[in-house]
Structure formats: C-alpha cells, structure tokens
Amino acid sequence: MPMTSAPTRLLTLFTLLTAMVCLPAAIHAQDDPGMVRAAKLIYANNKSSVCFADQFLTVLADETHVQTHPELIPVKSDSGELFDYPFAVMTGEGAFNLTEPQLDNLRTYLTYGGFVIASAGCSSSDWNHSFGQAVEQLFPDAELTTLDAEHPIFHTVYDITTSKYKSGGAKLPELRVLEIDGRVVMVWSPDGLNDTANAGPNCCCCGGNEIKSAKQLNVNILAYALTH
C-alpha cells in the first residue's frame, strides 16, 4: 500500500471535516473518523500549555453539528502526527525558541491546511516576543494583521462585538491573524484566550489581562477554521 504524505493526510482530513460541518448530528454520531480532534502543541524544549481550557470543544459540539473530541491532545510540533489534526493550540508563558525541525514542520502544516491558535498565558510579554520572532522565522515575508469587528471570526457561532477583560473596560478583543494565499492559518491573541476559570485545578493565571469571552471566541475560531 503506498504511503500517504503528511500534507496530503491533512488536506484530506480538512476536506472531510469541512464537508461534514452542516450534516445532521445523527450522521456524525455514526462516523468517528469525522470527529474533530484538536492538538495541544509541545514545542521548544518540551514547552506546552497547562492553562488552556478545552471546554470550547464540547460547546462547539453542543451548539453545532460538529462532533468533537472533548480534550486537547498533546502533540509534538515536529511530529508527523500533527498532520492528523486540522486545528492546534500553542500557548504558554516565558521566552522560548523553536528548533529547525519544529519550524519546518509547522511551516508545512500551516501551508497545507493546518490552523494554529496562539495565546500568551497570563499575557506573558516574553512569550509574545518569542512568538513574534517565531512567526518571522516561519514566514519572513508574511504580515500579521489585526481583525476588525466585521470579520467572520467574531460572528461564526456567537456574535462578539466587545468583551470584558480581567481588568479594565470592555472592548473588541485584539486578534492578530496570519494569512497564506488569502486563507487565515493562524490567530494570535497577545492578551490570552486561555479561559483559565475553566482550565482545571492545576492552572493559575496570576497576571495578565485575559479576555473574558475566551470560550466563545475559541468556539468561533474553531468553527471558522473548519469552514474556511
């Protein structure tokens, strides 16, 4: 049997999931291969998230006909396994550097249909700085843009025009995106979409200005990723 390349596996999976988004829930229940599984990236020197809540996965399944695995699954960013997931979360705190194999794999993943949501834990400025450098290494000619209030990401499942923050007044959440050939492949929140109130007992966010509507935004972002 001929081997299937990682990018081909990802494109096939993404096409299948996109086609299934509007199918009746009963069909999803009988078709486990169509289940959406989201990765939690392990990157740099074994760095990963401890504070990114996975409740948005269940909420998306409740609000739409998309069947989702209820937990984020740890996946190494330089592994071929990453191409079995149409959606991945990259978050953490503190400075980091991606290795060349990690950069190469993530570049291929994003180019061939993958989608990454990036979020600074506790609004970590060191993490944001390192992530900005990583984006430049991944795609030196790409330009990050900030979404305006009319972008579909703010309206895919929930209509979000403003959000409360951990401190300060309400405002439109700042989401920066990276596009490749007109397709959004990455959403980055410098403030944090971790939804730490629902992240479990081992999580503590002692600083930063987290977005209070994180769960709803994450639902929107995943739904957008699966349909665009």
Domain positions in the chain = 6-227
Q: For 9-26, write each residue's pLDDT tens digit.
A: 555 444 444 444 433 332
Task: Indicate whether this model's pTM tops 0.95.
Answer: no
Pair 222, 56: CB distance under 8 Å? yes
Res. 30: pLDDT tops 70? no
What order do you get walking across the sheet with 73-76 strand by strand? 73-76, 38-42, 87-92, 115-120, 183-189, 176-180, 145-146
Distances from the Cα of 221 to the Cαs of 27, 46, 156, 197, in angstroms? 23, 26, 8, 19
The whole-number pLDDT of residue 201 equals 65
The whole-number pLDDT of residue 154 equals 96
* DSSP tag of 163: B
Res. 2: pLDDT tops 60? no
The whole-number pLDDT of residue 207 equals 60
Question: What CATH number does the domain located at 6-227 have?
Answer: 3.40.50.12140
Q: For 92-102, write each residue's pLDDT tens digit.
A: 889 999 999 99
Most confident range (mean pLDDT) of 34-38, 86-90, 159-163 is: 86-90
Find the range with the poorest average confidence among 23-32, 68-77, 88-97: 23-32
